[in-house]
Amino acid sequence: CLWYFNKYEDGLLGSPDYHFKDKGVNFMKSVITVIGKDKVGIIAKISTLLADNNVNILDISQTIMQDMFTMIMMVDIKESAVDFYKLSESLEKLGEEIGVSIRIQHEDIFKSMHRI
């Protein structure tokens, strides 16, 4: 996440909402992935952190495979109360606290990485 944030900050990829402003879109999508051992409250804690930071959940998919929890969320960070880097740090910290890996990526970067 930090690499993506720094590339935007350095101007190498334009501003984070560059692609969206040109297309007249009123949101900025990011993808959050969560992986770890299943336990009570994972979705609740992540959803609470996002709501507290004014991040809207657009779509969510979660699966439990044996005792492993996996989740992908599409979120709108356009109105986020904190910048992308701070949100990423908060999610990673929460992940450490609850014993899962939580990562966030801008949708356009996510799509570019998975097009290869």
pLDDT, tens digit (0-9, with 9 covering 90-100), for 37-47: 999 999 999 99
Global model pTM greater than 0.85: no
DSSP string, the chain: -HHHHHHHHTTSS--TTHHHHHTT-S--EEEEEEEEE--TTHHHHHHHHHHHTTPEEEEEEEEEETTEEEEEEEEE-TT-SS-HHHHHHHHHHHHHHHTEEEEEEEHHHHHHHHH-
pLDDT 10s digits, 51-96: 999 999 999 999 999 999 999 999 999 999 999 999 999 999 999 9
